[in-house]
């Protein structure tokens, strides 16, 4: 629930009396607790490729069908490329036809944070890693044939696939 002390709205007027409103992140105490990872941009640049940095730290989006995992069907767990936290299981991956890896639910709910980017019904909902705040992609409520009705549309550049049975190694 938003605390009045934290409510700050940014309003952009679009003309004809229409406005788009955006609220910054919720306070950290409303996010799942765990070992948070905070690094400067310079530190992130040392461990990420240019594309990974642009997507995860600057909320970028890779072009459709260009990502490493768009057509991947290997069994495993997709982890955050920045911090190694498990995000999505290949068992929940499906072909959405969008050109990005799509999942109908996170591997662990508390490992992802959903942040609405506006108040209009069609405004996208951003998906972030709860451990390091990496931008992952967006979630949409348009997958009726999937068990949850959700489509987590995630950038390949934000993910690292760890094949089932292999050891995971987290970046420090």
DSSP string, 87-123: EEEGGGEE--SSSS-EESS-SSGGGEEEEE--SSTT-
Q: Does residue 93 form part of some domain? A: yes
Please state, rounded to an integer, the average pLDDT across all residues of the chain.
Answer: 82
Check residue 140 and give its pLDDT: 92
Q: How many CB atoms lie within 10 A of CB 76?
A: 19
Q: What is the CATH number of the domain that holds 88?
A: 2.170.150.20
Using pLDDT thresholds of 50, 70 and 90, give the confidence band for residue 171.
very low
**Over the stretch 105-118, which tens digit does the pLDDT of each residue have?**
999 999 999 998 87
Catalytic residue IDs: 153
Q: Does residue 12 form part of some domain? A: no
Domain count for the chain: 1
Boundaries of domain holding 142: 32-163
Q: Does residue 114 form part of some domain? A: yes
Q: What's the pTM?
A: 0.76
Q: Does residue 25 form part of some domain? A: no
Residue 105's contacts (CB-CB under 8 Å, 6 or more residues apart) are 92, 147, 148, 150, 152
**Over the stretch 122-148, which tens digit does the pLDDT of each residue have?**
788 999 999 999 999 999 988 888 899
Long-range contacts of range 161-164, CB-CB < 8 Å, 24 or more positions apart?
161/69, 161/72, 161/74, 161/76, 161/77, 161/78, 161/79, 161/90, 162/76, 162/77, 162/78, 162/79, 163/74, 163/75, 163/76, 164/75, 164/76, 164/77, 164/90
Q: Does residue 106 form part of some domain? A: yes
Check residue 119 and give its pLDDT: 81
Check residue 118 and give its pLDDT: 79
**Over the stretch 66-97, which tens digit does the pLDDT of each residue have?**
999 999 999 999 999 999 999 999 999 999 99
Q: Does residue 3 form part of some domain? A: no
For residue 5, pLDDT beyond 50: no
Q: Does residue 130 form part of some domain? A: yes
Of 136 and 26, more confident = 136
Q: Does residue 136 form part of some domain? A: yes
């Amino acid at each position: 629930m938003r605390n009045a002390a934290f409510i700050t709205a940014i309003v952009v007027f679009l003309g004809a009396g229409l406005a788009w409103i955006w609220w910054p992140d919720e306070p950290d105490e409303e996010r799942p607790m765990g070992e948070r990872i905070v690094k400067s941009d310079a530190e992130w640049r040392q461990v990420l490729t240019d594309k990974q940095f642009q997507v995860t730290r600057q909320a970028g989006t890779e072009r459709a069908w260009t990502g490493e995992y768009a057509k991947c069907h290997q069994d495993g767990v997709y982890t955050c490329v920045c911090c190694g936290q498990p995000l999505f299981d290949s068992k929940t991956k499906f072909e959405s036809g969008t050109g990005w890896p799509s999942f109908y639910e996170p591997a662990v709910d508390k490992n992802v944070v959903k942040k609405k980017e506006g108040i209009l019904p069609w405004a996208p909902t951003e998906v972030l890693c709860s451990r390091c705040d990496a931008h992952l992609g967006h979630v949409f409520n348009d997958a009726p044939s999937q068990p949850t009705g959700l489509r987590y549309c995630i950038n390949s550049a934000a993910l690292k696939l760890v094949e089932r049975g292999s050891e995971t190694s987290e970046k420090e």
